[in-house]
Structure 1
Amino acid sequence: MTTEELYEHFLKNPIISTDTRNILPGCIFFALKGDHFNANEFAAQAIEKGASFAVIDEETHAVNDRCLLVNDVLITLQDLARHHRKQLNIPVIGLTGSNGKTTSKELVNAVLKERYKTFATFGNLNNHIGVPLSILSITSDVQIAVIEMGANHQKEIELLCTIAQPTHGIITNVGMAHLDGFGGFDGVKKGKAELYTYLKETRGYTFINRNNPYLLEMSAAAGLNKLIYYGTENGNSIKGTLKSSDPFIEVEWTNHDISSFVKTNLTGSYNFENILAAICIGDFFDIAPEEINNGLSNYQPKNNRSQLTKTENNTVICDFYNANPSSMAAALNNISTLTADQKTAILGDMFELGPESPLQHKLIVKQATESSLNQIIFIGKYFYAFKDEFNGIFFEAPAEAAAYLQKKQIKNNLILLKGSRGMKLEGLLQYL
């Protein structure tokens, strides 16, 4: 079956599913394969549950003519998304970065939807499967789309750009994330810069934080020419000043000599640059300052990203969706500046750092133990390796930390709870 033929089916059945547990009537089921599963085996089940068609790449599972045989289901999904994208005559903002991708995407969406019918990536569906699914979710009435693109190795952003085909782009930052897959920090810069390369080749627009020397270096190397700058100095399209971040961020910003002020529900001074990025993109798309401020002030952080949560006993900065050395250092810097009588940090291991892992964990332990925090709890085997070298409370596993917290309750503290997704630190929240 060709992409064009499959697209005709898609136009009549514009819902895609990759999970038989979430089959909607009339959807098209794509039987993807993974290291530990082969969804070809569930094609018949998907049709029984109401799927109009099942796209498969193993002929033995073609139970009837509603099973559409292709050479490779994943490549077919990506090709279908590319074809759909070509039918959409709208701006698509491609967004990537080491930290703050999802928050920035949500902020940009919050601003743009003040005036436009927008689409933004759901959750963090930002990989080689998530981006095609996002593109195929864009309906004909959408006026602007914001597509988040994640990567843990080189050439991944390049691939995602061929699918999303962004007309505008932004790299939030580059940091010490996925060092194992990228092969070190220089590899991170090279991998993220693939977005810049695509925008150069397609003459797209690029939004750049002028305060970030790495982004300036990368954009110059790519030879970009359609640049829109934001930052804290004069000469940018948007100039911003962080007025407060204790605990919520307040920003004064200027555009064309017109000053504006916005109070947000975001905590963490590191989110200042994400807010400025959203302001800059909103301004570029002719959204009035009062509309920009309205979008930002109404945005409520969720998904445990810089989310301030009041428990019965404490105030917790829930930032345990993910972690890397850059975001961990920023989170520690942030809690150090906040006003509270007692402060505690509960930090979980950071993953995908490769050979850099011991050094990066040691640096975080050093930073934390040298800070003004009253109590620091480290969780995970990487942090545990330094239990004899630094002060602090160390546990090899979250279960041990849970038992400790259950027995010795922390009260009246401002608590930072942060670690990589695989640490599942959300399980500790009930004891805080």
Structure 2
Amino acid sequence: METAQLYTYFLKAEALTTDSRSIPKNSIFFALKGENFNGNLFAEEAIRKGAIYAVVDEEQYKNHPNIILVDNTLTALQQLANYHRKQIGIPIIALTGSNGKTTTKELIHSVLKTTYKTIATKGNLNNHIGVPLTLLSMTKETELGIVEMGANHLNEITTLCTIAEPDFGYITNFGKAHLEGFGGVEGVIKGKSELYQFLIKHQKTIFINADDPIQNNKTANYPRKFSFSHEHGDVIIKFINAQPFVELSVNNMSIHSQLIGSYNLNNIAAAAMIGCYFNVPMDNIKNAIENYTPTNNRSQIIEQNGRKIILDAYNANPSSMHAALDNFALQKETSKLAILGDMFELGEAAANEHQQIADYAASLVNTDVWLVGHNFSNTISSLKKFPNFKDLEYFLSEYPVKQKLLLIKGSRGMALERTIKFL
């Protein structure tokens, strides 16, 4: 079926879903497939639950007049999203980077929605499925779209750009994330910079942190860019402090955020910069940033039994782990404990990167550090180590934590937010 014809079916539906467990009324269901599931099996069930159409790619499941057969459901979804993107013709801002993507996306959304009808990626639906779903949630009434793009291999950002065709783009940073897939830091830089390459090729606008030498190098001599910097950007950012929340000034306007850690300075600065570019009033920018509070285990502050917990357990890599420890070391509380979980997707670099973090953590003054997970347990360190979460859970049941300030950080697979209920 041609994309234009499939689009007519999409327009008749009130929602689009890929999850047969949750079928909105009058929706269109795309039967996607993976290693351990086949959505084609649930096409008829989706119709019974209220979908008006189901899209399949195996002919044997086209046994209902409202089931639509395509060659490949994922490809059809991506092509439909690109077609829709062309039909609505709204400005799209793309965002990628090693650390801080989702927080930065949420901040940008908070700022822009004060002035524009804005739709942004929900949660972290930032892959080859999430990006199409984000685009298809936009309408002609949407004035600005914000699309987060994640990647752990080369050419993924290029693919996502081909689907979304962004008009603007920003890269948060280039760090030690997904080293296994990218093949090292140089691969990370090359992979994330695919966003720049697309924007430059199509003469679109690039947002940059002008204090980042990599971003400057990758966009050198390109005229269509807008920047923030501490000294020489289009928007001037000044760091004031982070004790514990980040305070900064944007073009001489003071902003008191609810985000901890100096590593969030650039995330806030990016949102302010993009707000300035789109002529959002400075008061709106200030209010949006000051009223934003993190969720989903991202730098959350939790008060519990007279102690303060910095819960940053959504994800971790060597760059973000080092930054979190730097910030933790600066906190004035004298009774401190950091519980660190393994960092995933580091490939052959895993042993060395975990050892470096363990060494750095051991050097911190007035800070106790516990290491959790297989990789951290194999480091050579005098720090307290737990091979798995069960061991940590047992220890906590026998020896209650006495420290007043805690940092809990690890990769998503470690699910260290579970620690909270055992403290």
TM-score range, shorter chain: over 0.9
Give me the CA root mean square deviation: 1.0
Q: Could you state the TM-score of these two structures normalised by the residue count of structure 2?
A: 0.98
2:358 corresponds to 1:362: no
Aligned to 1:395: 386
Query: Percentage identity across aligned positions?
Result: 45
Question: Pick from 314, 335, 341: which aligns with 1:321?
Answer: 314
Aligned to 1:170: 170
2:349 corresponds to 1:351: no
Q: Which shows bigger deviation, 349-358 or 309-318? A: 309-318
CA distance in 1, matches of 2:21, 2:93: 31
CA distance in 2, matches of 1:55, 1:307: 40
CA distance in 1, matches of 2:366, 2:218: 36
Residues 206-217 of structure 1 mapped to structure 2, 5 A cutoff: 206-217=206-217
Q: Say if 1:208 and 1:228, in contact at 8 Å, map to a contact too.
A: yes
Aligned to 2:290: 297
Q: Say if 2:98 and 2:173, in contact at 8 Å, map to a contact too.
A: yes
Question: Pick from 202, 226, 229: which aligns with 1:228?
Answer: 226
Any idea what the Cα deviations from partners look like across 1:366-391, whole Å, max 9, x if unmatched?
110011243111011000001xx211
TM-fit CA distance, 1:128: 0.2
Residues 232-311 of structure 1 mapped to structure 2, 5 A cutoff: 232-233=230-231, 235-254=232-251, 259-311=252-304
2:339 corresponds to 1:342: no
Any idea what the Cα deviations from partners look like across 1:207-265, whole Å, max 9, x if unmatched?
11111112122223xx63211111111x21111111111111111121xxxx2111111
Q: Say if 1:313 and 1:412, in contact at 8 Å, map to a contact too.
A: no
Residues 69-88 of structure 1 mapped to structure 2, 5 A cutoff: 69-88=69-88
Partner SS, residue 34 of structure 2? coil
TM-fit CA distance, 1:412: 4.3
TM-fit CA distance, 1:81: 0.1
Any idea what the Cα deviations from partners look like across 1:397-417, whole Å, max 9, x if unmatched?
111111111221113421110
2:375 corresponds to 1:382: yes
Q: Which shows bigger deviation, 317-326 or 235-244? A: 235-244
Q: Say if 1:97 and 1:192, in contact at 8 Å, map to a contact too.
A: yes
CA distance in 1, matches of 2:402, 2:8: 60
What one-letter code is carried by the residue in structure 1 that aligns with 2:240? K
Any idea what the Cα deviations from partners look like across 1:29-76, whole Å, max 9, x if unmatched?
111111111111111111111111110000111121111000000000
Q: Say if 1:231 and 1:238, in contact at 8 Å, map to a contact too.
A: yes
Residues 71-220 of structure 1 mapped to structure 2, 5 A cutoff: 71-220=71-220
CA distance in 2, matches of 1:372, 1:139: 53
The structure-2 alpha-carbon separation of the partners of 1:349 and 1:371, relative to structure 1 and needing over 3 Å to count, comes to same
Q: Say if 1:229 and 1:237, in contact at 8 Å, map to a contact too.
A: yes
CA distance in 1, matches of 2:88, 2:234: 28
TM-fit CA distance, 1:159: 0.5
CA distance in 1, matches of 2:171, 2:269: 13
Partner SS, residue 21 of structure 2? helix
CA distance in 1, matches of 2:36, 2:216: 42
Question: Pick from 393, 407, 410: which aligns with 2:398?
Answer: 407
CA distance in 2, matches of 1:431, 1:193: 42
CA distance in 2, matches of 1:249, 1:241: 11
What stretches of structure 1 of length at least 5 have no aligned partner? none
CA distance in 2, matches of 1:11, 1:33: 24
Any idea what the Cα deviations from partners look like across 1:188-224, whole Å, max 9, x if unmatched?
011001000110011111111111112122223xx63
CA distance in 2, matches of 1:188, 1:39: 33
Q: How many residues align?
A: 423
